[in-house]
Structure 1
Amino acid sequence: MPTLCWAHSNGTARDRMPLSPTLRRRLGAILLPIALLAAPLPVVAANETEDDLPVAEIQAFAEVFERIKRAYVEEVDDATLLHNAMRGMLSELDPHSSYLDAEAYENLRESTQGEFGGVGIEVGKRDGQITVITPIDDTPASRAGLQAQDTILRINDTPTEGMSLQEAVDLMRGDPGTDIRLTIIRQGEDAPRNITLEREVIRTQSVKSDTLAPGYGYLRISQFQARTGDQVVNALNELTDDGPLQGLVLDLRNNPGGVLQAAVDVADAFLDDGRIVYTEGRLADSELSFYANRATTAPDVPLVVLINGGSASAAEIVAGALQDQRRGVVMGTESFGKGSVQQIMPLGENEALKLTTARYFTPSGRSIQAQGIKPDVEVVRGRLEVAQDNGLRVREADLEGHLSGNGKDAESGELNARLRDDYQLGEALNLLKALNVLDERKR
């Protein structure tokens, strides 16, 4: 059985602070299991030592532990120090791996089930700064106008410089009805702005549907939760109650992702064959491949998929699969580029690791990690402004005694206003109509 040595034959141990016998026994009990887990497999050559346990680094860790126990201004218990060490180990791996204490673990379970308390904002880390990935639809964050790529400089009076993602999430969560102030800086703006939000219970319905025009449907997915696949199937069935669709817009803008299986289920609703996504990692059980089946809900509907810089993770899986399979036209702006898979590994009953275990790839083998999905048709966000004429033109409606229309003016005006406010959505509808015109001319 390997034993953990505190002295080191290279001479460096003589310069280190001696450990007390009590602490040596305590750390031995803590670190010996690490030694056992990290012990190399049987060597095949005498000079192969690259997988040996890094005794010097473990000794350095023990000395840091000892110095904190002896000299820190306030007494710190062993459990707190070890939990902090676990947080540090995971936070330095990548922005998405983390240690989840009981509160964070419960928050994660709540968010994947579609109900949690807070302001409704998905955050990540970019260049060391807390950054908005996307505000969730119909939440305080979205109503206040927060946007993807906004950088959060302060949460209330606490600067976010050097703050971990979990610390930022903990600060933003709180009792419904309480206020929180965010100081943000937005790309293209010179000065920060303060935004005050009132926390509320966030209950998210991940799927919404609507009719853009007769025969043209709209399907919005705000995030991928455990029941999103079933909700998409139900929404598609409702949209086709009055007859087959001539076209459908699948809106994945500002969708931060979520459950991998939900993304597979959504893509499968539009595909009747072929691969959807596959993952590659170091462990055998992290290498997975998912395929579409023939029981497809919407196999022949002309499809436009909307994405932007807030479309991440599971949203990119769906967009990439539909793009590679040539099932629809991807429109908008380049997506976020999160192409890694996190696995939740419980530690006992109330704690867990969220650990990056694999990268995922589109059917054609494209890695999305740090690359994103590039749209087939780039359309930037904007608002359609109709130029005003000088009032000299005469139209039919200006003629005295003109015949009235069919009574649908109000409905048409409401739709036109919506499409003017959302230029990308209007262009998606125009593209679907154009595709149908071309299809009819080919017949």
Structure 2
Amino acid sequence: MLHSPRLTQLALTIALVVSAPLATAAQPAKGAAVPATEVTANAPLPLDELRTFAEVMDRIKAAYVEPVDDKTLLENAIKGMLSNLDPHSAYLGPEDFQELQESTSGEFGGLGIEVGMDDGFVKVVSPIDDTPASRAGIQAGDLILKINGAPTRGQSMSEAVDKMRGKIGQKITLTLVRDGGNPFDVTLARAVIQVKSVKSQLLESGYGYIRITQFQVKTGEEVGKALAKLRKDNGKKLRGLILDLRNNPGGVLQSAVEVADHFLTKGLIVYTKGRIANSELRFSADPADASEGVPLVVLINGGSASASEIVAGALQDQKRGVLMGTDSFGKGSVQTVLPLNNDRALKLTTALYYTPNGRSIQAQGIVPDIEVRSGKLTTDDDSENFKEADLKGHLGNGNGGADRPTSSTVRKERPQDGDFQLSQALSLLKGLNVTKGD
């Protein structure tokens, strides 16, 4: 039988853990009649369940095969409490919380190296410009044999990356080998590394391509810069643009709104609904149009989730672009990160979001306007075929045009050459311009 003082203390502890973070999250809301947390706080405590909880805790401590302390049991209880709510709510320990902050901000303490695996060794894929790695002369293709004297062979890539990341200013020594030569050491200090979430380029003259890998805090700003650069590189207004959101897992809600706003000049982008007052949000487009209204194709697939679906849904509902690819993931919920003590946090689902037309895509996803499944492109070699211009003594063009014999030049590999979905998107844009008479 449990003693009353222990039960009372445990019940108070649990009540504070449950209610305090939610109360903090509700504070910014103004004009709310009765916050949901106040209702929860005034509800009677379930004493029978608390007695069972305390009894289970005592039984585990007394009978489990190995000693377990109260802190471990309580943390596991919190994790279990959140894991049974939905797949996206979670208790974040210090490392998980820091990793989440780094992924959404795009900044972390590191060396500035993109790495991969090669025959069990960590291999430098590319040093990032203007980082400790590039300034130290580290080159693509270098093998990292050791990190601070510890061999990397046998480690996973994530384990090696974790060791290279760390406190800003802290020094680290890498043992490298280049082109089969002798190993050498490079000592460098970690610095703030900024990972860009947006890549862009001209696929062909007049046709731009923007790829968003994740929605970070600065993604909206990066897309604005990418649009301006594509316009500058093309020398005039683009004839078409492809926005690639494939395999983009989402990220920051505000960034998704900013990205969609670059392509819209009016109307609703997204709205959210939840129980607490500050979860009721509406976001609308402003009149500025960074994309200059160019024809737009948006690529999505089963890996396009959350913030990606917000952008895709807004552009589809507003008839701003053609969605192409396969059904998206179907994550229509919004998570709020609620910091706790000791560098921990709750990631809690607080709302559902809805597209401008009021669609909730939760567990359904967004259906593209044109379904195109992924595949590899193969090209036939046309060099063996002869054309009229290859024949000896052929007649010239009556209009004075130059001859066009079989080409023997090797064309530079382009992104659309090996990507069926991207190639189809580009073909659609070209077709739209043909029908417009451009």
Looking at structure 1, the residues matched to 378 and 352 of structure 2 have their Cα atoms a distance apart, in angstroms, of 42
Looking at structure 1, the residues matched to 19 and 213 of structure 2 have their Cα atoms a distance apart, in angstroms, of 45
Q: How does 1:249-398 map to 2 (within 5 A)?
A: 249-348=242-341, 350-387=343-380, 391=384, 393-396=385-388, 398=390
Q: Deviations over 1:281-321 (max 9, x none)?
A: 11111110100001221141100000011111101100000
Where does structure 1 lack aligned partners over 5 or more consecutive residues? Answer: 1-17, 43-50, 119-137, 145-174, 182-195
2:411 alignment partner, SS class: helix
Structure 2 residue corresponding to 1:89, chosen from 58, 71, 81:
81
Q: Is the 8 A contact 2:331 2:365 kept in 1?
A: yes
Alpha carbons of 1:139 and 1:243: their partners in 2 closer, same or farther (altered >3 Å)? farther
Alpha carbons of 1:26 and 1:299: their partners in 2 closer, same or farther (altered >3 Å)? same
Looking at structure 1, the residues matched to 388 and 115 of structure 2 have their Cα atoms a distance apart, in angstroms, of 44
Alpha carbons of 1:311 and 1:397: their partners in 2 closer, same or farther (altered >3 Å)? farther
Partner of 1:124: none
Q: Is the 8 A contact 1:280 1:288 kept in 2?
A: yes
Q: Is the 8 A contact 1:276 1:362 kept in 2?
A: yes
Deviation of 1:74 after TM superposition, in Å, equals 2.4
Structure 2 residue corresponding to 1:426, chosen from 423, 427, 436:
423
2:99 alignment partner, SS class: helix
Looking at structure 1, the residues matched to 228 and 411 of structure 2 have their Cα atoms a distance apart, in angstroms, of 27
Partner of 1:131: none
Is residue 229 of structure 1 aligned with residue 220 of structure 2? yes
Is residue 204 of structure 1 aligned with residue 176 of structure 2? no
Partner of 1:4: none
Is residue 24 of structure 1 aligned with residue 7 of structure 2? yes
Looking at structure 2, the residues matched to 340 and 232 of structure 1 have their Cα atoms a distance apart, in angstroms, of 24
Structure 2 residue corresponding to 1:109, chosen from 101, 112, 129:
101
Where does structure 2 lack aligned partners over 5 or more consecutive residues? Answer: 23-33, 35-42, 121-149, 166-192, 395-401
Partner of 1:170: none
Looking at structure 2, the residues matched to 178 and 361 of structure 1 have their Cα atoms a distance apart, in angstroms, of 48
Looking at structure 2, the residues matched to 389 and 414 of structure 1 have their Cα atoms a distance apart, in angstroms, of 16
Is residue 77 of structure 1 aligned with residue 69 of structure 2? yes
Looking at structure 2, the residues matched to 369 and 139 of structure 1 have their Cα atoms a distance apart, in angstroms, of 35
Q: Is the 8 A contact 1:176 1:198 kept in 2?
A: no
Residue 431 of structure 2 aligns with an amino acid whose one-letter code is A
1:240 alignment partner, SS class: helix
Looking at structure 1, the residues matched to 265 and 2 of structure 2 have their Cα atoms a distance apart, in angstroms, of 65
Looking at structure 2, the residues matched to 263 and 320 of structure 1 have their Cα atoms a distance apart, in angstroms, of 11
Q: Is the 8 A contact 1:340 1:358 kept in 2?
A: yes
1:253 alignment partner, SS class: coil
1:208 alignment partner, SS class: strand
Q: Is the 8 A contact 1:233 1:297 kept in 2?
A: yes
Q: Is the 8 A contact 1:216 1:248 kept in 2?
A: yes
1:217 alignment partner, SS class: strand
TM-score where L is the length of structure 2: 0.71
Partner of 1:245: 238
Is residue 56 of structure 1 aligned with residue 48 of structure 2? yes
Looking at structure 2, the residues matched to 252 and 110 of structure 1 have their Cα atoms a distance apart, in angstroms, of 21
Partner of 1:413: 411
Residue 100 of structure 1 aligns with an amino acid whose one-letter code is L
Alpha carbons of 1:99 and 1:211: their partners in 2 closer, same or farther (altered >3 Å)? same
Deviation of 1:22 after TM superposition, in Å, equals 6.3
Q: Is the 8 A contact 1:272 1:294 kept in 2?
A: yes
Equivalent pairs: percent with the same residue? 54
Residue 421 of structure 2 aligns with an amino acid whose one-letter code is Q
1:254 alignment partner, SS class: coil
Looking at structure 2, the residues matched to 28 and 320 of structure 1 have their Cα atoms a distance apart, in angstroms, of 45
Q: Deviations over 1:186-245 (max 9, x none)?
A: xxxxxxxxxx87743696320011111111101111110010011100010011111100
Q: Deviations over 1:314-353 (max 9, x none)?
A: 0110000000000000001111111110000011251110
Looking at structure 2, the residues matched to 333 and 286 of structure 1 have their Cα atoms a distance apart, in angstroms, of 30
Deviation of 1:55 after TM superposition, in Å, equals 2.4
Q: Deviations over 1:368-412 (max 9, x none)?
A: 111111100001001222356795x42256445997879x986x8
Q: Is the 8 A contact 1:19 1:66 kept in 2?
A: no
Q: Is the 8 A contact 1:176 1:199 kept in 2?
A: no
Residue 68 of structure 2 aligns with an amino acid whose one-letter code is V
Looking at structure 1, the residues matched to 389 and 417 of structure 2 have their Cα atoms a distance apart, in angstroms, of 22
Partner of 1:100: 92
Looking at structure 2, the residues matched to 52 and 79 of structure 1 have their Cα atoms a distance apart, in angstroms, of 26
Alpha carbons of 1:367 and 1:70: their partners in 2 closer, same or farther (altered >3 Å)? same
Residue 86 of structure 2 aligns with an amino acid whose one-letter code is D
Q: Is the 8 A contact 1:380 1:424 kept in 2?
A: yes
1:232 alignment partner, SS class: helix
Q: Is the 8 A contact 1:178 1:199 kept in 2?
A: no
Deviation of 1:75 after TM superposition, in Å, equals 2.3
Alpha carbons of 1:72 and 1:293: their partners in 2 closer, same or farther (altered >3 Å)? same
Alpha carbons of 1:25 and 1:71: their partners in 2 closer, same or farther (altered >3 Å)? farther
Q: Is the 8 A contact 2:336 2:347 kept in 1?
A: yes
Q: CA RMSD in A?
A: 3.4
Deviation of 1:77 after TM superposition, in Å, equals 1.9
